[in-house]
Amino acid sequence: MPTLRLALAQVNPTVGDLAGNAAIVVDRTRAAVAAGADLIAFPEMMLTGYPVEDLVFRESFVAASRAALRGLAADLDAAGLGSVPVVVGYLDADGPATISAAATPGRGPRNAAAVLHGGQIVASYFKHHLPNYGVFDEDRYFVPGDTLTVVRIAGVDVALTICEDLWQAGGPFAAARRAGVGLVVNINGSPYEVNKDDVRLPLVQRRAAEAGATIAYVNMVGGQDELVFDGDSMIVTADGTLLTRAPQFGGHLLLHDVELPAATDPAPGTATTGTASAADGSPEAAADGLTVVRVHLSDTVPAAGPAGERVDGGIAERVTDEAEIWQALVLGLRDYVNKNGFRSVVIALSGGIDSAAVAAIAVDALGPDRVVGISMPSQFSSEHSRDDAADLAKRTGLDYRTEPIQPMVDAFLANLSLSGMSVENLQARVRGVLLMAVSNQEGHLVLTTGNKSELAVGYSTLYGDSVGGFNPLKDVWKSLVWKLAEWRNADAARRGAQPPIPENSISKPPSAELRPGQLDSDSLPDYAVLDAILTGYVDGDLGRDDLVAAGHDPAVVDRVLRMVDIAEYKRRQSAPGSKISIKAFGRDRRLPITNRWREQSE
């Protein structure tokens, strides 16, 4: 059996940065070639970044992606890296977008993979299965492929597939079995969800069994707006053995020597690089309507496998849920800040758990020099709140300031007749104006600190504490905020480092401190109860009766559901944040604002 040294480049592209992304490919290919790789694979839509959304409809962008691919092939060859095949995702098109009057059925933009070799694009493949649920909208953008591309590399037949192709039975992987391939390369832009790594491995194993072939799964890593890609690249054999697996949330070049079956039939025609020939009537391939396109690169099997020692990529250890989520939040924030060109962030520090957690995430993501924390006490702020905020600043080393809001609040109150909730909201809005003024003056990105429970029930002030360009906790239930804070502190203690979050911020009862003695529990059920109901209603799409049947107090269920339904309006205007579960408020939760439907009895 030939032994191939595979290199899976788990890298972090940026949407729209065609030149920068191509440079990453050249750099990682250089490293892989130096390490003796026989085949190198990069993630889905590597050249453009992912997802590109409506940029697909801009013909100039499609043209730029295609030009960048040709340029990349030439650049790799010019750098002396042309002899090793490179699989890379990009945006292609064989016709105008389907929204165009000039559209042709079956043609249009394509989510594509190419094999680059010898300075040429020697093969390409168009994704078959286009996800159109949750955060995915690929039916809007792409036309599905109907061809399987098989490339003979070092005597092994290798099939190309992309992301969602892996999640569907009976598709390209079944066709790959009939085409008799030894390896399926699957390139991904697969966003992180809680415990998604627990789903991925069994899925890859099932598909490897279906294909009867080893699968090389490579995923991107990094934050893109509300999405976080976690990497978790791996190689799994046809019998389900996990050979190697990369860690999540970091860049990684996963190198592993894999024994693969030699192709049994000599490929037809001459082995001219860059010449694709359709299979000569393989009946298996024809059976499901999939045409197989075979490309012959090389029959030269590495004599005794790659030179030197056997390379083993190892199997990265899995971490706890809290560690995984924390890393996702840190990576999502870091990339949002850096990729959008912000130098620093500013956070309102109340002394409470949410702002403390956001500050700790920000310091982990950017370092203390790039984080400004402002305490903005009012007449209702307790002494312990100010102390806890100052303590947090001391523990983390962030740039700490205090700006009392009472003079500005008083100026409004002197000129307007306000009472009750209006006065409470006014304080939050004065803080918002203050944060934005500092942001404008000094160039920081404002971070919002509202957790998912608050956002769900509307327990926040529109244009007040909801002000900000990014919200790390947007998709984190309050109960989980506490767990994460405890985990982060314990993890620091384990490492002999300073726990960043004041114990008092974790243990004290939560309060918005917008009126004397106010507590969250005045307005909301206990967070354990609240979050259990919200998880069912928001994440699970359970109805009112389902929630009652699950044992919740009907009166509390009705109260919570009414709060959520009324809060939809606020949520539509909240800032984007990192996504860590399958459903979040934001891009993938699409509900009418104008809606009279109510689960609960009125």
Question: Residues within the annotated binding site for ATP?
Answer: 348-355, 449
State whether the Cα torsion 469-329-9-36 is positive or negative. Answer: positive
Nearer to a second copy, 16 or 250 (CB): 16
Name the minimum Å distance from CB 261 to a second copy: 33
Name the minimum Å distance from CB 573 to a second copy: 7
**Catalytic residue list:** 44, 127, 163
Tokens standing for residue 558: 């009705």
Name the minimum Å distance from CB 335 to a second copy: 7
* Non-local CB neighbours of 43 within 8 Å, separated by 6+ positions: 9, 10, 11, 13, 50, 89, 187, 188, 189, 218, 219, 220, 229
Beta bridge partners, 162, equal 187
Quote the crossing angle between the two packed helices 18-34 and 59-78, to the nearest 10°.
Answer: 30
Nearest by Cα to 480 from 457, 452, 460: 452
Name the minimum Å distance from CB 27 to a second copy: 17
Nearer to a second copy, 367 or 540 (CB): 540
Taking only Cα atoms into account, the Rg of the chain, rounded to an integer number of angstroms, comes to: 27
Beta bridge partners, 219, equal 188
SS3 assignment, position 548: helix
Omega of the bond leading into 51 within 30 degrees of 0 (cis): yes
In one-letter notation, the amino acid at residue 93 is A
Note whether 359 and 388 are within 8 A (CB): no
CA-angle at 55, arms to 166 and 194, nearest 5°: 40
Nearer to a second copy, 14 or 479 (CB): 14
Pairing of β 371-375 and β 399-402: parallel
Nearest by Cα to 76 from 10, 120, 122, 125: 120
Q: Rounded to whole angstroms, how far apart are CA atoms 83 and 76?
A: 9
Q: Rounded to whole angstroms, how far apart are CA atoms 223 and 335?
A: 5
Note whether 585 and 457 are within 8 A (CB): no
Name the minimum Å distance from CB 152 to a second copy: 34
Nearer to a second copy, 173 or 482 (CB): 173
Note whether 244 and 313 are within 8 A (CB): yes
CA-angle at 187, arms to 183 and 191, nearest 5°: 140
Name the minimum Å distance from CB 524 to a second copy: 20
Name the minimum Å distance from CB 449 to a second copy: 16
